[in-house]
């Protein structure tokens, strides 16, 4: 195997000092234009490759950002990743992406890998079961910035990027109430996570403000997978009386639940009006089209990476901002518009 060409090999070929070669290859103004061109031409002919990794280590910078996501097969997370990739590429940064598979133990392992890889910063959306910040403390102690997005945990030295989940859920539930729904069921996930706890709170406040009763049996805690939506529908079909409104904390479970209910002869929205969350592409494919909350995942990814890189470059200080809140909106479609209100 051929050995890598070094600046010493180029210096020997041209009878120049290694310092001059190094300066020329780094476009240093101390080297005149003709010499610089000659060195670059010879370097290209000899097959010289700049050791970016070693150079970055000397600068205490690796130009990599670590990203920990709960699941890569989520349409929402895919949208977030696309936004992150765009901003990272624009700034000549690379992303190292790992998934926790919704377990704290895998998240801890991922965090250790990121730390050992000397990432310049870390972007995290927490797993369902995470209940401690301990595995992020090495980053904080070392001064490596950590930004949480979507599923966040409060820390006075970390920034969180979120939407107002309480307000979004409140609007979604109020919309169902205004459509004449009296028995609104909420399908959600682990309450350790801010997104689902805040959405449940918004749902409950909307019931109060619309003079509707809260019933614990009308809150189903699941993992919001496609299978969870099917199981929820089967459970709903056994309820007496059945709910006439359904607010689901993501579109994946909402759509699979709708399909299962439709198979059983339930009319959407006449029998049960449905609202989802995220505005995934599937919400526009299902018939009737799904009313949902537009969650700007792509923009969240852009903001997360941009904020981190600006902090690293000294253009801003994320430690003085605890929370960045992005806008969301309710998109009303046919799944929740009742043709007849009793």
Tell me, yes or no, whether 174 and 284 share the same domain.
yes
Asked if residue 301 and residue 156 are part of one domain, the reply reads yes
Of 18-27, 194-203, 215-224, the poorest mean pLDDT is in: 18-27
The CATH number of whichever domain residue 241 belongs to comes to 3.40.50.2300
pLDDT (mean) for 301-330: 91
**242 and 311 part of one domain:** no
In this prediction, residue 342 carries a pLDDT of 43
Q: Which of 85, 79, 87, 133 is nearest to 313 (CA)?
A: 87
User: Residue 268 class from Cβ within 10 Å (0-12 exposed, 13-18 middle, 19+ buried)?
Assistant: buried
Same domain assignment for residues 273 and 172: yes
Residue 55 reports pLDDT greater than 60: no
pLDDT score at 322: 87
Q: Are residues 159 and 174 both part of a single domain? A: no
216 and 275 co-located in one domain: yes
Q: What is the pLDDT of residue 164?
A: 97
pLDDT confidence of 60, banded at 50, 70, 90? low
Are both 147 and 170 inside the same structural domain? no
Kindly report whether the peptide bond that precedes residue 241 is cis, defined as omega within 30 degrees of 0. Answer: yes
CB within 8 Å of 228: residues ≥ 6 apart? 187, 222, 253, 256
**Where is average pLDDT lowest: 157-161, 190-194, 248-252, 312-316?**
312-316
Least confident range of 57-61, 212-216, 227-231, 280-284? 57-61
CATH of the domain at 38: 1.10.260.40
Domain count, the chain: 3
Q: Same domain, yes or no, for 182 and 268?
A: yes
Are residues 309 and 268 both part of a single domain? no
In a domain, 215, yes or no: yes
For the chain, the average pLDDT equals 92
95-112 pLDDT tens trace: 999 999 999 999 999 999
Is the residue at 2 inside a domain? no
Flag the least confident range among 110-119, 207-216, 265-274.
Answer: 110-119
* Residues 72 and 141 reside in one and the same domain: yes
Structure tokens at 207: 């019931």
CA angle 131, 136, 140 (to 5 degrees): 135
Owning domain of residue 15: 7-50
Q: Give CA angle at 189 (135, 149), nearest 5°.
A: 45
Q: Looking at the structure, do residues 120 and 142 belong to the same domain, yes or no?
A: yes
Q: How far apart are the C-alpha atoms of 101 and 99, rounded to whole Å?
A: 6
For residue 200, the tally of other CB atoms under 10 A from its CB is 21
Task: Determine the pLDDT at residue 237.
Answer: 97
Question: Is the omega angle on the peptide bond into residue 269 within 30 degrees of 0, that is, cis?
Answer: yes
């Amino acid at each position: 195997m051929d050995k890598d060409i070094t600046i010493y090999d180029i210096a020997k070929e041209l009878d120049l000092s290694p310092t001059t070669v190094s300066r020329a290859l780094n476009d240093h103004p101390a080297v005149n234009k003709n010499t610089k061109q000659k060195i670059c031409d010879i370097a290209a002919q000899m097959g010289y490759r700049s050791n970016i990794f070693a150079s970055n280590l000397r600068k205490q910078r690796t130009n990599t950002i670590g990203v920990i996501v709960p699941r890569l097969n989520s349409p929402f997370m895919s949208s977030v990743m696309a936004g992150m990739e765009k901003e990272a590429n624009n700034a000549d940064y690379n992303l190292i992406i790992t998934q926790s598979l919704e377990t704290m133990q895998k998240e801890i392992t991922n965090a250790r890998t990121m730390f050992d890889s000397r990432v310049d910063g870390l972007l995290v959306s927490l797993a369902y079961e995470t209940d401690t910040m301990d595995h992020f403390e090495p980053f904080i102690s070392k001064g490596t910035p950590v930004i949480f997005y979507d599923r966040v945990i409060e820390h006075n030295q970390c920034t969180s990027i979120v939407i107002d989940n309480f307000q979004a859920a409140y609007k979604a539930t109020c919309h169902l109430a205004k459509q004449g729904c009296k028995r609104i069921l909420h399908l959600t996930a682990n309450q350790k996570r801010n997104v689902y706890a805040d959405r449940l709170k918004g749902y409950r406040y909307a019931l109060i403000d619309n003079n509707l009763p809260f019933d614990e049996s009308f809150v189903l805690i699941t993992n919001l997978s496609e299978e969870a939506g099917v199981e929820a529908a089967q459970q709903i079909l056994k309820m007496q009386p059945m709910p006439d409104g359904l607010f689901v904390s993501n579109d994946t479970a909402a759509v699979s639940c709708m399909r299962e209910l439709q198979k059983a002869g339930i009319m959407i929205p006449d029998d049960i009006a449905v609202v989802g969350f995220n505005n995934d592409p599937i919400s526009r494919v299902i018939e009737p089209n799904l009313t949902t909350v537009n969650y700007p995942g792509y923009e969240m990814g852009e903001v997360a990476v941009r904020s981190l890189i600006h902090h690293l470059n000294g253009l801003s200080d994320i430690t003085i901002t605890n929370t960045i809140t992005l806008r969301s909106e309710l998109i009303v479609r046919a799944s929740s518009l009742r043709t007849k209100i009793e």
